[in-house]
Amino acid sequence: MAAIDRSGDDVFVGLELESAAPTDAAVYYEWLLGLSPGSRPGEALARVGVTAVRGQTAPDAPTGWTPAFLVDDAARAVMRAQQLGGLAEQDADGRWIVHDPAGVRCRLVEAVPPEIAGRHANVDYSAFDVEETEAFYRAVFDARRLRMVDDPYDMRFLCRGRRIAAGVFRLHGVAGFAVRPCWIVYFEVADLVMHVARAAESGSRVLIPPTRSPFNLYAVLEDPWGDLFAFSQLLPRPLLGSLPVTDDDDAPGELIDHVDLFPAHHGSIA
């Protein structure tokens, strides 16, 4: 397979999963996403941007997905996070983990992990306070904001250059959804209904069934160990590109005016 160009303006660059059953979870997601297994459980997940599946750091430590974001200077990004009420720590390898004021965490990196061969995922932050969360991560990522017009969930996109780092929106109040701020990881698939049925039949719980948004068909689930994940099936390019948004100056426009919707490395799983 040809090398994938991951240069440019990417901000969201990968994922890590902490699970109560890391080996079982790694095997489960490989099977669920239809990935041919490698020599070690979880190795194949690098093809969708997952750099690690590990156990809890302590018996009472939170589990779930942690996104990794690319920043020019991690120390400066950490300083900006701390100025806005966030906390930061370094792991045993010296890598930075930032906890925002709501306690939700992300990882900051200064280089793209070389083991990632491609990415078929994106992330949104489901926030209690969209304005506060947007301001925090705009500062940390040194990003700008696009806001969807008349969106019922107050969706904003955090962008750098012509790439979307993450969405921030208010999903709380949707029936069956956990009432806590969190990152939602979406795996981009070609057949969302099939993947949701496959997950439900194998022990995952459907929290939000297949639902159409202005830019995708999506579903949110809880895996057999209690961690959230989602599937997404993006709408065709013309529909996505024409979505009305406003920029930092509240000037109106269309999404395609501001971002590249389909970077070459961001495909979907069959």
**Contact call for residues 68 and 113 (beta carbons, < 8 A):** yes
What size, in residues, is the chain? Answer: 270
Containing domain of residue 16, as a range? Answer: 12-257
53-77 residues labelled b (16+ CB within 10 A) or e (exposed):
beeeeeeeeebbbbbbbbbeebeeb
Q: Domain for residue 5, yes or no?
A: no
Q: Domain for residue 7, yes or no?
A: no
- The per-residue pLDDT for range 240-267, each reduced to its tens digit, is 778 889 999 999 998 888 888 765 555 6
- The per-residue pLDDT for range 2-23, each reduced to its tens digit, is 233 344 557 888 899 999 999 9
Instruction: Characterize the bridge pairing of strands 205-212 and 156-160.
Output: unpaired
- 71 falls in which pLDDT band (50, 70, 90)? very high
The pLDDT assigned to 7 comes to 43
- The per-residue pLDDT for range 111-144, each reduced to its tens digit, is 877 766 666 788 999 998 999 999 999 999 999 9
Alpha helices in the chain, H assignment, sequence order: 22-32, 74-83, 130-141, 192-201, 237-241
Q: Domain for residue 213, yes or no?
A: yes
> Would you tell me how many other CB atoms lie within 10 Å of the CB of residue 128?
12
**Contact call for residues 17 and 50 (beta carbons, < 8 A):** yes
Cα–Cα distance, 226 to 130 (Å, whole number): 25
- The per-residue pLDDT for range 82-110, each reduced to its tens digit, is 999 999 999 888 889 999 999 999 999 99
Total number of domains constituting the chain: 1
Of the listed ranges 33-47, 101-115, 194-208, the least confidently predicted one is: 101-115
Question: Distance of alpha carbon 127 from its chain centroid, rounded?
Answer: 14
Q: Domain for residue 28, yes or no?
A: yes
Q: Domain for residue 270, yes or no?
A: no
Q: Domain for residue 129, yes or no?
A: yes
What percent of the chain has a predicted confidence (pLDDT) above 70? 89
Query: Quick one: CA torsion of 57, 63, 68, 69, rounded to 10 degrees?
Result: -110
| pTM as predicted | 0.88
Using a 10 angstrom Cβ sphere, with 0-12 exposed, 13-18 middle and 19 or more buried, the burial of residue 172 is middle
Mean pLDDT computed over every residue of the chain = 86
Query: Residue 37 belongs to a domain with what CATH number?
Result: 3.10.180.10
Q: Domain for residue 6, yes or no?
A: no
Q: Domain for residue 33, yes or no?
A: yes
